[in-house]
Chain A
């Protein structure tokens, strides 16, 4: 361009010289004509005699001509310039038109509805090349979401322009324009700056198209919604005529005796008017045959119609009713059950207090709600332990059968046996503790009376027994003189029977104490091998005197358990003495071993054995077999009950196997020391 303007300037330079030449020529011609054609005077006069006026005149004209020439020169130069600019503008305009054609073509594609996005992009890519400087060697490619759209001649080259396609700040694709061959570089590079803006403009258009199409597709999907909705959806005009009804809604219209374009039943009209005038949603329930529908009536503000969104809530309603019924039943059970039920929240404040709790305590529900249960209603001795139980329950750890004393309104203490259950809300969060109790004051009293009675009875029995046994012994010892053989024989019978009575009294006391839990087992390491061997040694003589073999088999060194060695000794003595007692011939065998986490002591005899019937009852108190051989032997019928109670206190078990006429095997199982906790 610079070259061209320089050229203009030189042309206008020539014009100036031309003007000056013309002016000089005019001067000469004018003088000559004055001299030779229009002569009036002398030559000299003619040569020189032109009047001064004329000379001035000519000079003026010449000047004017020169000025004109200069002026013409300037005008021409400017026109040239304008022409040049115009030409350029025309060129640029041509470019712009090409660009505009391209852009317009692409944006026109958006208008085409129902044409899917890929089709549009396919068309768009072919519109691009024509807008470039060298359309014949330009190709383009659009990549959107992994789909490729390109011109037929597309080939990726090094003369390439690329731009991102972004939708809502997210990159969705790329637009590329390539020259298939090199073109001389202008000072703007292979592509003009206008072309760089153009590719961005096209990308922007494509972005718009993609966005628009996506929205269109979404709307199309959304438009399918009401029809695919499994719940009835209707649109109703102000006059209650049905404008739209989806498939699910059609049977309802039938039931209402309505149809598309027809009005809904009368009861709707008022509701529709109300909703339209209030411009806010309303929910109503409609029963149709055996189904219950909930309808949300939503006014479409400014349109004068309403949308009805129905929901079949029949099942939900049934479930709700069932839940309500169960809740009601539970509430009634809680109220009427013959057990105190007390609930506290996480702060320990009472939120449940049934009728029985009120009966026992003397405090009505209203009097206690919101008060601190432990602080206000629990006996001092029990506060700490109950706090602990409630604390555990609030961590989800439940406690069964703990006792506490409830303070009653009239200042008494009622002993309650309680089971604490963690209370949770629907999402499983712990919201408190629920306790079901049992008033065991009466039971406690009876238990006390029973043990008092047993203690008293045994004492009252023991005193005369002490006298009888003592005086008989005095006589038998010869302290009061010689006695005859028969006197001795009979007094010995008296003595044996006093001993039997004494054993019975001791056993009754024992079992009462063990069962009532008043006897505390000692806590010590017990070497089972040793106490069993001691027992065997004690009974050796008794066995040998009956001609029985007493065998022992100890299969591990130092088997240890937690417990009370005296009590355990007593159990093994009982079992061993029974085994020997009920065995006429053969052997009694004691085996000590470990079985996994347990110690096992088995006492096996080759004795009379027991019937199945007897087996099922041997651990019951005062059980005596009908077996005549067994009946002949002495016993209180409490030994096995005591043994069982004792072993159970040690967290163990007694098992028995027996076959009539073959023998009996008792097995005592106790947790091994390292595996077990202390017995209580």
Chain B
């Protein structure tokens, strides 16, 4: 069975780009437009990896991350943050809150894929 990834990203075009690249590789991707939706999807789907954009409406990425880490059932799911830029503060904040990795925008889709692969291994 294909490994499941939940993607939280408020920019549809960027979401589509990521979704395209990961799906093409063989991962199953669920895209949500904001943090709240994403959290629901995560609880329902129990994905293998979560891609979290930091700046999102309704609930931002850090908040989602915090709640995930509070939830015993979801705590162990690896999270990769998508940050606007490698701002040290953001990175430190993300890593301290339990994020697995971070990718800065703009990014090469191939690089993103490589990082996901490093964590999840092969899609299937």
Contacts and interface: CB of A to CB of B under 8 A. Distances in A.
Contacts, number: 48
The range of chain A's interface size is 10 to 19
5 contacts: A467-B14, A467-B17, A470-B108, A477-B110, A509-B85
A459 B106 contact: no
A470 B85 contact: no
B107 A459 contact: no
Contacts of B107: 466, 469-470
A97 B50 CA distance: 138
Given A459-B55, A459-B84, A509-B85, A465 B21 contact: no
B92 to A, nearest CB: 11
Contacts of B110: 473, 477
B11 A479 contact: no
Contacts of A585: none
A506 B109 contact: no
Interface residues of B, number: 16
Contacts of A459: 55, 84
Interface in A486-509: 498, 502, 506, 509
B105 A462 contact: yes
A506 to B, nearest CB: 7
B60 to A, nearest CB: 13
Interface string A461-483: 01101110111011001010000
A502 B21 contact: no
A463 B24 contact: no
A473 B108 contact: yes
Contacts of B24: 479
B21 A463 contact: no
Contacts of B11: 463, 466-467
Contacts of A467: 11, 13-14, 17
Nearest to B18: A470
Interface in A503-540: 506, 509
A469 B20 CA distance: 15
A470 B17 contact: yes
B85 A466 contact: no
Nearest to B13: A467
Contacts of A469: 106-108
Given A463-B11, A470-B17, A479-B24, A506 B106 contact: no
Interface string B71-96: 00000000000001100000000000
Contacts of A462: 84-85, 105-106
Contacts of B55: 459
Contacts of B109: 470, 473-474, 477, 479
B113 to A, nearest CB: 9
A473 B24 CA distance: 14
Interface in B11-50: 11, 13-14, 17, 20-21, 24
Nearest to A510: B85
B20 A474 contact: yes
Given A473-B109, A498-B106, A506-B85, A466 B14 contact: yes
A396 to B, nearest CB: 39
Contacts of B84: 458-459, 462
Contacts of B13: 467
A467 B84 CA distance: 13
A473 B11 CA distance: 18
Contacts of B20: 474, 479
Contacts of A463: 11, 14, 105
Nearest to B55: A459
Nearest to A498: B106
Given A466-B14, A474-B20, A479-B24, 18 more contacts: A458-B85, A459-B55, A462-B84, A466-B11, A466-B105, A467-B11, A469-B106, A470-B17, A470-B109, A473-B108, A473-B109, A473-B110, A474-B17, A474-B21, A477-B110, A479-B21, A498-B106, A502-B106
A416 B22 CA distance: 54
The 3 lowest CB-CB distance pairs between A and B, nearest first, are A466-B106, A469-B106, A470-B17
A474 B106 CA distance: 13
Nearest to B108: A473
A498 B20 CA distance: 21
A524 B48 CA distance: 38
A631 B105 CA distance: 28
B6 to A, nearest CB: 19
Contacts of A470: 14, 17, 106-109
Contacts of B21: 474, 479
Interface string B46-58: 0000000001000
Interface in B94-124: 105-110
Given A459-B55, A462-B105, A479-B24, A471 B17 contact: yes
Nearest to B11: A463
A506 B106 CA distance: 11
A109 to B, nearest CB: 104
Contacts of A474: 17, 20-21, 109
A477 B13 CA distance: 18
B123 to A, nearest CB: 15
B35 to A, nearest CB: 17
Nearest to A477: B110
Nearest to B86: A506
Contacts of B106: 462, 465-466, 469-470, 498, 502
Interface in A263-314: none
A466 B20 CA distance: 15
Nearest to A566: B88
A471 B19 CA distance: 12
A496 to B, nearest CB: 13
Interface string A444-467: 000000000000001100110111
Nearest to B24: A479
B10 to A, nearest CB: 9
A462 B107 CA distance: 10
A463 B104 CA distance: 11
Interface in A157-199: none
A524 to B, nearest CB: 13
Nearest to B112: A470
A639 B41 CA distance: 44
B56 to A, nearest CB: 12
Q: Looking at B11, B20, B24, B85, which has the most chain A CB atoms within 10 Å of its CB?
A: B85
The residue among A470, A479, A498 with the most chain B CB atoms within 10 A of its own CB is A470
A458 B55 CA distance: 13
Contacts of A502: 106
Contacts of B14: 463, 466-467, 470
Contacts of A458: 84-85
Contacts of A498: 106
A500 to B, nearest CB: 12
* Interface hub of A463, A465, A509 (most chain B Cβ within 10 A): A463
Nearest to B25: A479
Interface string A401-430: 000000000000000000000000000000
Interface in A120-156: none
Centre residue among B20, B21, B84 by max chain A CB count within 10 A: B84
B117 to A, nearest CB: 15
